[in-house]
Structure 1
Amino acid sequence: MNVIVDGNGLQARAHAQDGRRLDTFLALLAGLPACRVSVSPEAPLTAELLAGQDVLIITTRKWQTSPYTLTELDSIPAFVRQGGGLLLLSNHGDVPGRHPLDMTRSDALLARAFGIEIENAFFSHPEPSRLSEFGEADLLAGHPILRGAAGEAPVRSLVTNNCCSIVSPDGAPLIRLTDRMIDHRNGFSSQGRCFAIALENNLKVARGRVVMVADSGFIGTAGTTFPGVGLIDQGDNSRFAQNAVRWLGRAL
């Protein structure tokens, strides 16, 4: 299985600066059987670059510094339709008056190619300094990403700091936002919106697969704090990330 991490992504760019941000995540992938992992240069993801890859991982594209090019908005969906797997990790939206950047703007353009709506939301715990944990009631336990392979422990929890929200009529809702989280733009509850979904077997993805997640910081190495607290050691974050890549690469 050939896996390429987009070097233009928020978490990948942080890793290029500190050498630590994705250490644990990359090591987990490299530890999968017959998995070869590379990070792309900070250049557009062309069809030529994606040729021969099985899974593409994008860790949030900031529209201010690394928006998708028109070429990428063609080449990435084409990669999926031809049988590739896409793990698209977005991030939080903005909050009027508090000025966090809207991290959803670029990823939303790509997601729409697959019938996914990334909402410019800022969901987190009502107390902003606290993390949010998704428990078994929030998980679609029957999906292979959460169930794992025979004999493996399932994903039972996942931890995030803050995130956007995802809506898709065609996606399998892997993880729903917990009712305890609120959108800090307006105080509203999640109302059934999703943190993670999986798509396959429809016209928009054709022969490929997509996993869409509303946060990218949850794969950050523990102890790192830029661009947010690293949470890969929390809950079953690492198992979820591994299983998502395995499923996308037809290894689960």
Structure 2
Amino acid sequence: MLFRCVLVSLFVIALAGCVGDNLPQQPDPDFKPQNSYARFDIAQAPVVLIDQAHYNFHTINTRYRPFAQVLQSDGYNVKANKQQFSSKSLAKADILVIANALHKDNSRNWDGPFYSAFTPEEVKAVKAWVSQGGALLLIADHIPFPKAAEQIASAFGFEFANGHVQEVTFSTQNKTLSHHVILNSTARTGQITQVKSLGGDAFKAPEAAINLLQIPKGMKAVLPDKPFAVNEKTPQISIEGWSQGAVLEIERGRVAVFAEASMFTSQVYIPTGQKLGLVSPGAEQNERFLLNVMYWLANKGS
């Protein structure tokens, strides 16, 4: 049963499983954010750097264009990061977004072995920047992305499975969506009661973190040697109680980690016209959830 469920989920996430930018999976050209009122004006707009210096599968110009549109609808000043991480390159940023980074050697080869996307110096720079008041949104999807992000994730105490999991609908009703200020009702977003993930990976969060998206009972991750190479003999591990989304306060800064990328964007599979992500059935509140996650990251003193 698990094998069949995972294969169904892999049919969806396999749309993201090809390498390169000239792919049938592209940003949704018709996407428009639901949000129509910006929380920030130009004078106070937080600067959001979206990383594209590490062979990222998701960038402003590719599959995270709708992600950037959502942020811009709320008034954020969204820019592309094209430099290695350092105290200098991060100095003017309020929030750093890293989505599905890859090492150069894995940018065209997903058969392994898999390497860190970041140098030890970059990891130290990001951790120091967060500790001094920066905010990090780290997203690492299914294998091989968690391996690429392993060092930067572990610097904050997060440990990924580096496999595949099936899609999950998290909700307050089934108690997999944890109570946190991020879910609170506002005049603009209303109470968030459901968030949908479309597959991805899972991780163990450090004790000090708040597990927002808690993996439900009975779920397992499959751990193939390379992406999508799943069959009845593929190793499995229990991930019950693990996380697909968690937040952490560290000294003066904040960190949000998610194990699924498409839940925060909108993509179209060109051959069929199928759209998935923010526009998927069951993901109606995902955009509001993203906006609240970003607002929590932007307000480190509150």
* Distance in 2 separating the partners of 1:92 and 1:140: 23
* Distance in 2 separating the partners of 1:175 and 1:114: 18
The answer to whether residue 205 in structure 2 is matched with residue 176 in structure 1 is no
Q: Paired residue for 2:169?
A: 133
Q: Paired residue for 1:31?
A: 73
The answer to whether residue 102 in structure 2 is matched with residue 57 in structure 1 is no
Q: Does the aligned pair in 1 maintain the 2:219–2:240 contact within 8 Å?
A: no
With structure 2 as the length reference, what TM-score do the two structures score? Answer: 0.68
* Distance in 2 separating the partners of 1:221 and 1:135: 21
Q: Paired residue for 2:263?
A: 218
Q: Which has the larger radius of gyration?
A: 2
Q: Paired residue for 2:181?
A: 144
**Counterpart mapping for 1:1-252 below 5 A:** 1-7=46-52, 8=54, 9-12=56-59, 16=61, 19=62, 21-33=63-75, 35-41=76-82, 43-63=83-103, 64-65=106-107, 67-93=117-143, 102-124=144-166, 131-136=167-172, 137-141=175-179, 143-149=180-186, 152-167=189-204, 168-179=206-217, 181-185=219-223, 186-200=235-249, 205-224=250-269, 230-234=276-280, 235=283, 236-250=285-299
* Distance in 2 separating the partners of 1:174 and 1:180: 18
Which one-letter code corresponds to 2:168 in the other structure? Answer: S
Give % identity.
Answer: 23
* Distance in 2 separating the partners of 1:154 and 1:108: 33
Q: Does the aligned pair in 1 maintain the 2:266–2:278 contact within 8 Å?
A: yes
* Distance in 1 separating the partners of 2:257 and 2:145: 14
Alpha-carbon shift at residue 36 of structure 1 (Å): 0.9
**Which structure 1 segments of 5+ residues have no match?**
94-101, 125-130
* Distance in 2 separating the partners of 1:166 and 1:241: 19
Deviation string 1:27-66 (CA, Å, 9 cap, x unpaired) is: 1111214x2111112x312221111211001002223238
Q: Does the aligned pair in 2 maintain the 1:115–1:170 contact within 8 Å?
A: no
Deviation string 1:112-155 (CA, Å, 9 cap, x unpaired) is: 1112222223211xxxxxx43222221112x1212254663122
Bigger mean CA offset, 146-155 vs 64-73: 146-155
RMSD: 2.4
**Pair 132,191 (structure 1): closer, same or farther in 2 beyond 3 Å:** closer
**Pair 115,148 (structure 1): closer, same or farther in 2 beyond 3 Å:** farther
* Distance in 1 separating the partners of 2:288 and 2:218: 24
